[in-house]
Amino acid sequence: MSGGRAAALLLVGVLIGGISGGATAVYLTYRAAESPSQPAINVGLPIATASPAASGTADEEIVGVVQDLLPSVVTVINYASNGQPQSSGSGFVVDAAKGYVITNNHVVEDTRTSGAGASFDVVFSNDKKTSAKLIGRDPFTDVAVLQVAAQGLKAATLANSDEVPVGALTVAIGSPLGEFQNTVTHGIVSAKGRRVAETSQVILEDLIQTDAPINPGNSGGPLLWAATHQVIGVNTLGVTQATGINFAVSSNTVRQIADEIIANGRVVRGYIGIQYSPITPRQAAQLGLPTGTIGIIVSQVVPGSPAEQSGIQVNDIITKVNDQVIDADHPLSSLLVKNRPGDKVKPQ
């Protein structure tokens, strides 16, 4: 960091709804006083142990898991504030007694009204429809939780995704294109622990890669481990430039985020309190920086924020956080997203 002020920052804020700003500017400015630091939370989504539900051929395993868990899968319809459907996706029940449904953040995100006035329905595999309440969402993991007041629900079980081996047979269920409800595809676990940029500022981590097709509308549905009939991930995105490369948020990440959303209605994270933009080659030349310098330049410091208290000033250059270079693969928001209020980070 320029000026020799590379002091540790104490994160004291809350990051709950996403990143505000345009393509080159980001605000991280939520206040700690509104939501103090919370301990790790587990409110009841159990960790399953990996035990085969049945043994047989691949076809038999696929048929078995579909027959077992199809009633747990729902279609999620997102209505704009004017009452018109604006998007749809998939989801699945994780708590039958309390009616909690897991889906993707981008399925419930209201792009036309920024969340104001949006409403939701879920449609079950038997075509019954009911309204749903949004409990909370997290754009940094693409996880959201809905709640329905319905009886006779069947819940799916979240697996310990650390236990699923690469090569395991997978089944994806959802509603591709918003109209082909209860569509089933299958594949294998191609890899684990993948990192993928969902946007320029959001890097999804701990993803499970699968070649089971995930099409628009499948988002939010379960990726199932055929051998155990357990959910190992939430189908999230696919690579449009290639076939057979698709990703799901791991069930371990989903469990952690869903538990916190259910407990708090949001995910509590730290902030430092700056507005910034990436350094361009032209700026680097004007500032006399070495060719190839990458990082961010501070354009605004929030009064009273951790950044101000640590001495960060406008026009400071930050190239690293905790020795990790800030670049396209590691934007500042991604480097800070795992921190909580009270954690310390070191900018350079």
What's the angle, vertex CA 157, arms to CA 156 and CA 160, rounded to 5? 145
Q: In this predicted structure, what is the pLDDT of residue 53?
A: 54
Burial 327-344 (b: 16+ CB within 10 A, else e): eeebbbbbbbbebbbebe
Instruction: Judge whether 110 counts as a catalytic residue.
Output: no
CATH of the domain at 279: 2.30.42
Q: In this predicted structure, what is the pLDDT of residue 9?
A: 53
Tell me, yes or no, whether 134 lies in a domain. no
**176/289 same-domain check:** no
Instruction: Judge whether 161 counts as a catalytic residue.
Output: no
Tell me, yes or no, whether 157 lies in a domain. no
Which of 230, 253, 276 marks a domain boundary?
253
Tell me, yes or no, whether 335 lies in a domain. yes
Which segment of 32-41, 46-55, 76-85, 236-245 scores lowest on mean pLDDT?
A: 32-41
**283/178 same-domain check:** no
CATH of the domain at 235: 2.40.10.10
Of the residues 95, 110, 121, 142, only one is catalytic, namely 142
The mean predicted confidence, pLDDT, of the chain is 80
Tell me, yes or no, whether 191 lies in a domain. yes
**275/325 same-domain check:** yes
**209/169 same-domain check:** yes
Which segment of 120-134, 140-154, 228-242 scores lowest on mean pLDDT?
A: 228-242
Dmax (CA) for the chain in angstroms is 67
**201/62 same-domain check:** yes
Mean pLDDT in residue range 284-300: 85
Q: In this predicted structure, what is the pLDDT of residue 233?
A: 97
Between the CA of residue 307 and those of 4, 13, 38, 272, 310, what are the distances in Å? 14, 11, 22, 5, 5
Which segment of 63-77, 180-194, 309-323 scores lowest on mean pLDDT?
A: 309-323
Residue 279 pLDDT exceeds 70:
yes
**171/244 same-domain check:** yes
Q: pLDDT tens across 119-131, in order? A: 999 999 999 999 9
Tell me, yes or no, whether 149 lies in a domain. no
Provide the residue type at 11 as one letter. L
Tell me, yes or no, whether 77 lies in a domain. no
Tell me, yes or no, whether 155 lies in a domain. no
Q: In this predicted structure, what is the pLDDT of residue 49?
A: 58
**62/205 same-domain check:** yes
Which segment of 13-22, 187-196, 244-253 scores lowest on mean pLDDT?
A: 13-22
Q: In this predicted structure, what is the pLDDT of residue 39?
A: 34
Which of 253, 279, 306 marks a domain boundary?
253
**More reliable by pLDDT, 207 or 82:** 207
Of the residues 72, 219, 250, 333, only one is catalytic, namely 219
**237/187 same-domain check:** yes
Is the entire prediction scored with pTM above 0.85? no
Of the residues 106, 186, 206, 316, only one is catalytic, namely 106
Mean pLDDT in residue range 175-186: 83
- Full domain range(s) for residue 237: 58-69+162-253
Closest CA to 73 of 222, 176, 189, 278: 222
**63/177 same-domain check:** yes
Tell me, yes or no, whether 300 lies in a domain. yes
Q: pLDDT tens across 4-62, in order? A: 444 455 544 444 333 222 222 222 322 222 222 333 334 467 666 555 555 568 889 99
Domain count, the chain: 2
Which of 253, 280, 306 marks a domain boundary?
253
**334/300 same-domain check:** yes
Instruction: Judge whether 333 counts as a catalytic residue.
Output: no
Angstrom distance (rounded) from CA 194 to CA 278:
25
Mean pLDDT in residue range 307-316: 86
Mapping DSSP to helix (H, G, I), strand (E, B) and coil, where does residue 67 land? helix
Mean pLDDT in residue range 72-97: 91
**201/63 same-domain check:** yes
